[in-house]
Amino acid sequence: MRMVRSTNDSNPTDFILLGFSDHPQLQKALFVVILILYLLTILGNTTIILVSHLEPKLHTPMYFFLSHLSFLDLCFTSSVIPQLLVNLWDPLKTITYGGCVVQLCVSLALGSTECVLLAVMSYDRYVAVCRPLHYTVLMHPRLCMALASTAWLSGVATALVQSTLTLQLPFCGHRQVDHFICEVPVLIKLACVDTTFNQAELFVASVLFLVLPLSLILISYGYIAQAILRIKSAIGRRKAFGTCSSHLMVVIIFYGAVIFMYLQPAKSRSQDQGKFVSLFYTVVTPMLNPVVYTLRNKEVKGALKKILGKILRANVT
């Protein structure tokens, strides 16, 4: 049963994250499943970061960006899941106003950064497949650092703009957020003034950080597909496709869920659909990323076996 509180204060001191209150029979099961997925996310992404750092053969642009993606996923899930686990267990389901602001800013910045970073990684794969002889020249360390910095700074910038515009709205009446996370679309619904400008700004930001990067990714993979089809050797085609398949799978999983949440008209989906889609890209996707890159990448598996072998030998001796 939903808890109802009311206030006339337009600047509330806390919010109530209703989350999955409509499905009380699911909450304990979700707690266990999400806790397991969170632990797997920490383990998987930490492993990717350590392997990429410890294995000299993986000191390449591809794994440089992959390490950024893993670190980003660690931070993103950690900004959402601990509070979600508390709310699944706690009947009060409250979050302080400050906590909601931090969650909104951090998750928005990291989510936007991931959109740009995935586009940057597609450019890296384009150069690797379409310009292999010039790869080391084109993807030099300074460019890689500049591209990664651009992804992070653009994410922070849009988070500051959208968070500021959203938090300036007067949240009148009840403070119940019909979601498990403080996100822009659900907070806008709490406002007691006309939010046409905020809705328009959110749509523009969604186009800039979803449609534009995805378009660049699709263009990159269009050129990659043409280059792969020109390879005469079947082994060569499989190898070229193998370098891109993991990233392409991550792109499909991430963008599919986020586009459903931010670009689909709110009236065309139920609130429960929005919650479970958000649950997918905040909990499941960060856990799947290291699994996809590890299981489909011989270099990562080889480096992991090598490092584990060294650790085992060191323990034996």
Amino acid identity at 234: A
107: three-class secondary structure by DSSP: helix
Name the β-bridge partners of 94: 16
pLDDT of residue 173: 64
Per-residue model confidence as pLDDT tens digits over 278-311: 888 888 888 888 887 776 677 777 777 777 777 7
Q: Is the dihedral of CA 14, 184, 217, 283 positive or negative?
A: positive
pLDDT of residue 282: 86
Q: Which helix (H) or strand (E) holds 181?
A: none
Instruction: Supply the CATH classification number for the domain 14-316.
Output: 1.20.1070.10
Cβ atoms of 108 and 184 closer than 8 Å? yes
- Calculate the average pLDDT of the chain: 83
Rounded-to-integer distance, Cα 271 and Cα 104, Å: 19
| Interacting residues of 4 by C-beta distance below 8 A, sequence separation 6+ | 174, 176
Higher pLDDT, 183 or 265: 183
DSSP 8-state symbol, 91:
S
Cβ atoms of 107 and 76 closer than 8 Å? yes
Query: Token pair 């979601």 is at which residue?
Result: 179
Higher pLDDT, 314 or 9: 314
Rounded-to-integer distance, Cα 184 and Cα 274, Å: 13
Cβ atoms of 49 and 289 closer than 8 Å? no
pLDDT of residue 58: 84
9: three-class secondary structure by DSSP: coil
Per-residue model confidence as pLDDT tens digits over 118-166: 999 999 999 988 888 889 899 999 999 999 999 999 999 999 999 999 8
Amino acid identity at 180: F
Rounded-to-integer distance, Cα 126 and Cα 218, Å: 11
pLDDT of residue 159: 93
Higher pLDDT, 70 or 256: 70
User: How many CB atoms sit inside 10 A of residue 23's CB?
Assistant: 12
pLDDT of residue 244: 79
Higher pLDDT, 172 or 53: 53
Query: Token pair 């001191």 is at which residue?
Result: 13
Q: Rg of the chain's alpha carbons, rounded to an integer?
A: 21
Query: Token pair 């670190």 is at which residue?
Result: 71
Nearest to 280, CA basis, from 125, 104, 81, 1: 81
Backbone φ, ψ for residue 170 (5° rounding): -80, 120
Rounded-to-integer distance, Cα 313 and Cα 282, Å: 38
Q: Is the pLDDT of residue 266 over 60?
A: no
Per-residue model confidence as pLDDT tens digits over 63-103: 899 999 999 999 999 999 998 898 888 777 888 888 888 99
